[in-house]
Structure 1
Amino acid sequence: MTRAARVAITFSTTAVLLAGSAVASAAPPAGFDEFTGIWPTAVDPASCRPGDLVETGIQGEVPLADRTSGYTCNIDLIGQYQGQGAGPISPTYGDCAYLASTFPTNLLGEDAGVQVLDVSDPAHPVRTAVLTEPAMVGGTWESLKVHEGRGLLVGTGVGLIESAGYISVYDISEDCAHPRLLNTTTGSLPNMPVPITTHEGAFSPDGNTYWASGIAPGWVSAVDLTDPTQPMVVWGGLTGVAAHGMGFTPDGNTMFLSNLAGMTILDISAVQNRPPRTVIGHPLPHLGSKIWTDGLLSQHSVYVTYDGVPHIFTVDEGGSGGVKLFDVTEPATPRWRTSAKLAINLPENMDRWAASSAANGAFGYDAHYCTVDRPENPRAMACGWIQSGIRVFDVTDPDRFREIAYFNPPAQTGKNLKLPNSLHATLGSIAAPPIIGTLAVARAILQGETGTGGIVNDRSRLVGGDLSADWCLSPPEFHGDKLYVTCMDNGFMALQLDLAVYPPR
């Protein structure tokens, strides 16, 4: 059957098939255990436009036969800059985008470092600069972040997964296409590192502090940027067995820190309210924690309010945990309110999850990073869902989410050597099986929720990924009715949301 024929058939049947695979995501089922429970439902699937290249598998799945062309539903690609690929987290600011670097393979290509793009014409992005300080060349991983209010760009040198010492701070407020290095000595010169561990980072809401985390052993550092020319570590300490991304209350006094399978809630008011350039010499109080077994490797959190009530979206990058929404009226005891999952993430589909995502690296069909279109009464959330591409949800009702659009870019199979800055095309595709989802698959099998048929197939090899589907890890960022995002192999993409679905009505 031709691709066109499959699209025609699928357009008329997708909603029916998906509705049969899961009841739409809603409030927790009666008796739901927030520690041991697995969220049992997927969000309502998107209703796509006639002519869209829609999914032919279950929601979120990319069957091998369709991977070359990709999928689109209520989104149009209007501009692209592939370059040499992109690292994990690539932020945007105004009319500019900053493509994260991947170490050490970026050194094999031309102009290693963070690539700066002028996207004032979204249809024709143009590279305008390359940032080449040690932190920028050393692989920024998930540390490259922008503070809108202060017009600052910060990244750290992560190396392979975790490193220490180097941070660069740039002024992008005046000319975002040509960032100006502010810390020309401390943190940028090879002989002047700062005492931080690095993997991920985030700005405090006021932009005066950059928080750096180094995963294991849970060390987190607060870097004072009140004088951005001289980054100064004002606090550092252990927060648990692991530390990943983070979210904050708007006053900057509370941190929701992602860990291995949950989040740790910290009182960081001593750092937030310090006199500038003052070292905090005592541990930060733990307000509480939330641990779950539905998903693992919790990635980061996004703070929002619904009718003034504080909530946190928190994302799991492994184990098919999807995106959880917690009511954090009482920060010490977050209440799980609902989840955004795709059908491919449900326990009964774990066999398909493993079989069709195999031979494409360690990550499968999992969420990674998300943004919302506004922090107060958010209307839409957009996520990089790794092999499932870019997914956009209507989140106006905090008790019932629905999907409104998706975009899965075409595979870049065979271009490994042309994409030295893509973590997926280089290091990420060495190990072929999607090991990040192993525990969720094993659990579903042991509990009798899925079978083993088809899991071991002709693509179930241990080495040699085939780039059959891109890795979309970076957060799609809202610019009005457009999304600016990078996927690792396809690079930067400007996407236009169909006005019929955004903003949600």
Structure 2
Amino acid sequence: MTSSFFRTARRWGTLAAAVLVLPVVATVPSAGAPPPQSAGAADCQPGSIPEAGLQGDVPAAERDSGRSRDGYRCNIRQLGSSPGRGGGITSVTFDHCAYIGTFFPGNLLGEAMGVRVIDVSDPTAPVHTTTLTEPAMLAGTWESLKVHAGRKLLIGAGVPFLTGAGLMSIYDISDCAHPRLLNPGPGTDLSLPLPITAHEGGFSPDGNTYWSSGTAPGLVSAVDISDPAQPKVIWQGLPGFSMHGFGFSPDGNRMYLANNMGGMKVLDVSAVQRRDSAPAVRELADMPWTDGWATQHILPVSYGGKPYVFAVDEAGSGGVKLIDVSDDRAPRQVQSIKLAINLPENQDSMVASASGGSLFAYDAHYCAADRPADPTALACSWTSSGIRVFDVRDPGAIREIAYFNPPARTGQNAELWNSPHALASIIGPPLLAAPSLAQAMLQGQFDPAQALSSRTGTLAFGDLSTDWCFAPPEWRGNQLWTACADNGFLALELSPAVYTPPPGQRSTTGS
């Protein structure tokens, strides 16, 4: 009885400590935003292994019992995989290949140091063909590893910890399984660093500019890559304290820039796009929000010719926001996509299950639409909730149609040297969920008793009782190619009963 008392006291103490360190910036829902609600749950077909609890949740009992090691799936099956030693943070694909991002310093601790190149000609049996070992690839690519399909270019910047500087390598991927380095000088030669900071990166629509953003400080750099052998910085600015990912209007003249504090800026970058001799970038709009933070990236789409963006929040249960940007000086949120575990009334359940699993709970990270104009489906990596797929044909009635949460690799931390999850698991509580927890408490929607579980007292050395899925799930007909932190590369297939590839399918992440 005494040990039970102390266990319960420790868990209550953990919750109390969490309340004391919660940020006070996220106290009320964003003004003018639609009320939070979850997307309609998927109707799982025979052969599925569905979630047992709330939509998106991996309950504490199933983490502790080992049930989560079997994973969960609904209307999706796995075709093949290439786990390696983990999937880094974000990985990308092109043609019949995948490029697996690196996480520093873990990626240096074993064989195949650098970005692994995977030939997925046969999705049931992916093959590792080569490894990219330039300094930027070894330094950790974080969220900078991106592809421009039109120009057949792969770029990654070096990001050892949150923000990197100086390193960027550019590859010709005409032969996608065997990339060829194009810039042995600036950005690759350690004696010729590029004057950039890096964390996130991406291409302009025409592929002639690679934009690099740092998180601390939020310096944004435009790098001219019209000649990939001689990349050069043509503009730099500090749009805010901490910037993240972005997307662009089709003509490249508007940048939709994610604000790590929670929100989006609209920038006029037409002078950079035109290559003015002294380009000036103007801020057209600043749209902050408190429903979610660490806004990850912005995905431009259109419905009926009218421009919108999907804005993805990496933390704070913000989910994915659909924003009307037809007036680029007054963007307006019209819809949001959340799972049930993200709702304010379920943040107590979130704490009960996510505790002991490290920094992240259940949040979106990267999304891909199946085409930029009138998309029919949106696939998103959703950290501990796996890969989630939504029917977005009608923006007013978005619903989930499928999900795949890969098997947890509990107890395999030491094998996963390229997994940020394995490294971060020295921390127990889901600290990045603090703002959503604060909102639920202040709104009287948090039941402390519901938050208590066998896991809520775990302050350090969390387990791998779920995977962390961060990379964009990229469309290939009925297939999705992606990577998760612990399971590495995954080739998945959607059931034809829930998804038919539309005419003109073209996977897009916005940058």
Q: Give the alignment's TM-score, normalised by structure 1.
A: 0.91
Q: In the aligned structure 2, how far is the partner of 1:185 from the partner of 1:309?
A: 43
How far residue 399 of structure 1 moved from its aligned partner, in angstroms, is 1.2
Q: Deviations over 1:316-369 (max 9, x none)?
A: 001100000011100111111101100000000000011101111101100000
Q: Which residue of 2 aligns with 1:148?
A: 149
- Determine the C-alpha separation between the residues in 1 that align with 2:453 and 2:30: 35
Q: Does 1:202 align with 2:202?
A: yes
Match of 1:494 among 486, 491, 495: 491
Structure 1 residues 236-247: aligned runs within 5 Å:
236-247=236-247
Work out whether residues 383 and 470 of structure 2, in 8 Å CA contact, stay in contact via their aligned partners in 1: yes
Aligned partner letter, 2:497: A
Equivalent pair of 2:266/2:285 in contact (CA under 8 Å):
yes
Q: Within 1, Cα distance between the matches of 2:32 and 2:347?
A: 18
Match of 2:223 in 1: 223
Separation (CA, whole Å) in 1 of partners of 2:501 and 2:353 = 32
Shift of 1:94: 0.6
Q: Does 1:382 align with 2:373?
A: no
Write the deviation string for residues 375-409 of structure 1: whole angstroms up to 9, x where unpaired.
00000000000000000000000112000000000
Determine the C-alpha separation between the residues in 2 that align with 1:298 and 1:62.
Answer: 24
Aligned with residue 358 of structure 1, among 355, 360, 373: 355
Shift of 1:237: 1.1
Equivalent residues of 2:353, 2:453 under 8 A apart? no
Secondary structure in 2 matching 1:312: strand
Q: 1:125 to 1:133 in 2, by over 3 A?
A: same
CA distance in 1 between counterparts of 2:498 and 2:270 reads 40
* Structure 2 counterpart of 1:51, one-letter code: G
**Scaled by the length of structure 2, what TM-score is found?**
0.90
How far apart are residue 36 of structure 1 and its match?
Answer: 7.2
Contact 1:483/1:494 (<8 A) preserved: yes
SS at match of 1:178: coil
* 1:415 to 2:412 alignment: yes
| Superposition deviation, residue 270 in structure 1 | 0.6
Is residue 98 from structure 1 mapped to residue 94 from structure 2 by the alignment? no
Q: 1:154 to 1:57 in 2, by over 3 A?
A: same
Mapped to 2, the partners of 1:354 and 1:35 lie a distance apart of: 26
What is the aligned counterpart of 2:52 among 43, 49, 56? 56
How far apart are 1:284 and its partner, in Å?
A: 1.0
* Alpha-carbon offset, residue 463 of structure 1: 1.0
Question: Is the contact made by 2:416 and 2:422 (CA closer than 8 Å) also made in structure 1?
Answer: yes
Given that 2:36 and 2:336 are in contact with CA atoms closer than 8 Å, whether structure 1 keeps it comes out as no
Stretches (4+) displaced over 4 A: none
Q: State how far apart, in whole Å, the 1-side matches of 2:466 and 2:372 are.
A: 31
- Equivalent residue for 1:158? 159
Residue 385 of structure 2 aligns with an amino acid whose one-letter code is S
**8 Å Cα contact 2:34-2:333 kept in structure 1:** no
Contact 1:379 1:503 in 2 (8 A): no
Measured in 2, the distance between the counterparts of 1:337 and 1:184 equals 46
**Separation of aligned partners in 2, 1:89 and 1:126:** 19
Measure the CA separation in 1 of the matches of 2:379 and 2:125.
23
The 5-angstrom pairing of residues 44-83 of structure 1 reads: 44-64=40-60, 65=62, 66-83=67-84
Corresponding residue of 2:4:
none
Counterpart CA distance in 2 for 1:198 and 1:486 is: 21
How many pairs align? 468
Matched, 1:471 2:468: yes
Which stretch of structure 1 is more off in the superposition, 126-135 or 459-468? 459-468
Q: Is the 8 A contact 1:380 1:503 kept in 2?
A: no
Inter-partner Cα distance in structure 2 for 1:232 and 1:40: 44
* CA deviation map 1:102-148 (0-9, x unaligned): 00111111121100000000000000010000100000000000001
Higher RCO (C-alpha 8 Å, min separation 6)? 2
Aligned-pair distance for 1:38?
7.0
- Partner amino acid, structure 2, of 1:319: G
Query: Is the CA contact 2:222–2:233 (under 8 Å) kept in the aligned structure 1?
Result: yes
Q: C-alpha separation between the residues in 2 aligned to 1:36 and 1:234?
A: 38
For 1:371, the aligned partner's letter is: A
Q: Can you give the 5+ residue segments of structure 1 that lack an aligned partner in the other structure?
A: 1-31
The aligned amino acid for 2:411 is G
* Residues 159-174 of structure 1 mapped to structure 2, 5 A cutoff: 159-173=160-174
Aligned residue for 1:110? 111
1:1-12 alignment to 2 at 5 Å?
A: none
Partner residue of 1:234?
234
Cα separation, 2, equivalents of 1:217 and 1:263: 17
- Code of the residue aligned with 1:54 in structure 2: it is P
Secondary structure (helix, strand or coil) at the match of 1:68 reads helix
What SS does the corresponding residue of 1:245 show, helix, strand or coil? strand
Contact conserved, 1:318 with 1:436, CA < 8 A, in 2? Answer: yes
* Residue aligning to 1:341: 338
- Partner SS state of residue 85, structure 1: coil
Task: Give the whole-Å Cα distance in 2 for the aligned partners of 1:202 and 1:273.
Answer: 18
| Residues 290-305 of structure 1 mapped to structure 2, 5 A cutoff | 290-305=287-302
State the partner residue of 1:4.
Answer: none
